[in-house]
Each structure stands twice: as C-alpha cells, then as structure tokens.
Amino acid sequence: MVQEYKLLFAGGMGVGKTTAISAVSEIPPVSTDVANSDREAFDKELTTVTLDYGRITLPSGDRLRLYGIPGQQRFSFMWAMLEHGAMGMVLLADASRPDPFAELDIFLKSFHKLLRSGRAVLGVGRLSKRRGALDKYVAKLARRKIKIPVFSVDVRKKKDVLLLLDALFTQIEVLEDDYRGGEPAEKAAQSASSAHDPAGGLADSNAPAEGGKPSEKTNRGVFPVSDKEPAKDSEPSQTTQSANETTV
C-alpha cells in the first residue's frame, strides 16, 4: 500500500525553503509568494505568506509531501498548522545573517517537539569555508538537547536537498529501529552522520556523482536523483559551497 509522508521545511525568511522544495519537487510547487514590502528588513523581491508545497514519489510508490512554512514570525499562526502530522523536518539556516543563531533560536523553540524527537536535520547555507564552522550550530543544538545531523548545504543544488532528505530518512529509520530495539536515541544522529562522514567523503557516499545514478548504499537509497539541476533559482544567490561537511 502506498504511503504518504509529510515533511516540513522550516527556517527564517530567505533561507531557501521555497528554493529547496522547488529543487526537488516533481510537480510545479504550489507557491504563495507575494511582493515583499519590507525590503529594509530583508532585500528580497518575493516572500512566502502561507506555504510552499511540493511532492516527491519514491521508487516504492510512496509519496513525500513537502510543506514549506512562511519564515516570518508574524505568520507563526501557520507553523503549528503545517507542523501537524509532519513525520520530520528539514530546518534551514543562513550563516550569513547578522545573527543567525538568534533567528535559528526562534525555530528551535517553536518546533522543539519535532526537533527533540530527533526527526529532523539542519542545513546551513552560506557557511564560511573555515574548518569547524558547523560546530557552533551543533553546540547551539546541543544546548537545547537536540541531537540531529547538521550539514553545510546550497539548497539551490538538488543533490544537496536530496542529501538532507536522505539524512532525515536515515534519522527517522534509525529512530524507528531504536523504538523497536532499544538503541540509544542519540545513535540515530550518529548513524545519519556516519553515512555522511566528511572523512569518508560525504558527497561521494551520499549524494550521487555528477550525472550519475544514486548510490545503492546511500542510506536506504530512497531518493532517485537525476542529474538535472533546477532551471532557475528564486532565492538570493548563495555561495558555491557544496554539501561537504557534516557533524552531529
């Protein structure tokens, strides 16, 4: 029987939720973008005011329904509605913001239940290439007792978004194994991470080679990957950093 899974994309305004969903959705995403009148706060032409919606059908026939939240706090009345029934969450952050941790904190508080359950991953965009740049994010999560994989990503790249989804599914599957077998909860995060260990070559082990087919051993190999990148980007440009760093 075909299963339907609801996944949430969360994060502040302009972190790339709409772009991420557009990058991987097999249907033209349902978008509720309108003109952004607050260009002083964030210089972006359009902003999402209700939701984004996209869909991925897995080789098994199961479907992922991807929901993006509106990132601005005045739309927080939508957050709980969209979170309802979500199996997991991709949380996105933008390291180039003046205070990315304060912004991240809003979502760590608002979605603490889902995050504390471990059914989530954090993707950080526009991260400096300095070694260990992700450590502050891991420490931030740890202070809130959140143990999820953290990746440096460029959500304009389909393979980076698929990496996040693969890691999320690994995380969820390990947690389910844990539920059945009594494995410690934090092992889930470690498990997801080990599949993307930078020493072992994250991009090699999880994201497929350019133009290649998905690796058989990528997590559970749930995401088919085509070599086509999205035709255009609707978000501000990001650095060309690829998903090559991860930690938990």
Q: Which residues of this protein are in contact with another protein, per CB under 8 A?
A: 30-40, 47, 49-51, 70, 72, 74-75, 77-78
Among candidate residues 150, 10, 149, 122, the one with its CA nearest the CA of residue 72: 10
The distance of closest approach from Cβ of residue 6 to another protein in the complex, given in angstroms and rounded to an integer, is 17
Residue type, 36: N
Gap between the Cα atoms of 209 and 170, Å rounded: 20
Q: Which is nearer to another protein, 51 or 168 (CB)?
A: 51
Q: Which is nearer to another protein, 77 or 84 (CB)?
A: 77
Q: Which is nearer to another protein, 51 or 195 (CB)?
A: 51
Q: Which is nearer to another protein, 43 or 229 (CB)?
A: 43
Q: Which is nearer to another protein, 36 or 117 (CB)?
A: 36
The distance of closest approach from Cβ of residue 63 to another protein in the complex, given in angstroms and rounded to an integer, is 17
Q: Which is nearer to another protein, 37 or 240 (CB)?
A: 37
Instruction: List residues bridging with 65 in a β-sheet.
Output: 6, 55
Distance from chain centroid for Cα 188: 16
Q: Which is nearer to another protein, 37 or 60 (CB)?
A: 37
| Contact present, 148 and 211 (Cβ < 8 Å) | no
Instruction: List residues bridging with 9 in a β-sheet.
Output: 68, 90
The distance of closest approach from Cβ of residue 76 to another protein in the complex, given in angstroms and rounded to an integer, is 9
The distance of closest approach from Cβ of residue 51 to another protein in the complex, given in angstroms and rounded to an integer, is 8
The distance of closest approach from Cβ of residue 124 to another protein in the complex, given in angstroms and rounded to an integer, is 26
Among candidate residues 234, 226, 223, the one with its CA nearest the CA of residue 19: 234
The distance of closest approach from Cβ of residue 94 to another protein in the complex, given in angstroms and rounded to an integer, is 19
| Contact present, 47 and 72 (Cβ < 8 Å) | yes
Query: DSSP letters along 105-152, please?
Result: HHHHHHTHHHHHTT-EEEEEES--SSTTTTHHHHHHHHHTT----EEE
The distance of closest approach from Cβ of residue 33 to another protein in the complex, given in angstroms and rounded to an integer, is 8
| Beta strands 46-57; 63-68: pairing state | antiparallel
Helix 17-24 and helix 158-181, axial crossing angle in degrees, nearest 10: 90
